[in-house]
Amino acid sequence: MKLEFERNLATWDRGLRLILAAILFVIPTIAVVGPTLTTILYVLAIINIVEAVIGY
C-alpha cells in the first residue's frame, strides 16, 4: 500500500513539475509577445488614422 502511494506521489510530483515548467515557459513568452503584438496593433491604428485624415 505504502509503495503504491509513493509511486503515485512521484507521478504527481512529476506532473506538477511539468505544469510549473509550462507556466514558467508561458509567462516570458507572453511578456515578449505581448508588447510586440501591442506595437503592431498600435502601428496599424496609427496608419488607419493617418489614412482617414489624409483621405485615401
Which domain does 29 fall in, by range? 11-54
Give the global pTM.
Answer: 0.48
Is residue 6 in some structural domain?
A: no
Is residue 18 in some structural domain?
A: yes
Q: How many domains in the chain? A: 1
pLDDT at 54 over 70: yes
Averaged confidence pLDDT in the chain: 87
Is residue 2 in some structural domain?
A: no
Positive or negative, the CA dihedral 28, 31, 32, 33 is positive
Write out pLDDT tens, residues 21-41. Answer: 999 999 988 888 888 989 999
Which letter, b or e, does each residue of 18-51 get, where b requires 16 or more Cβ atoms within 10 Å of its Cβ? eeeeeeeeeeeeeeeeeeeeeeeeeeeeeeeeee
The Cα-based distances of 46 to 1, 39, 42 in angstroms read 66, 10, 6
Is residue 5 in some structural domain?
A: no
Reading the block at residue 37, the C-alpha cell is 503584438
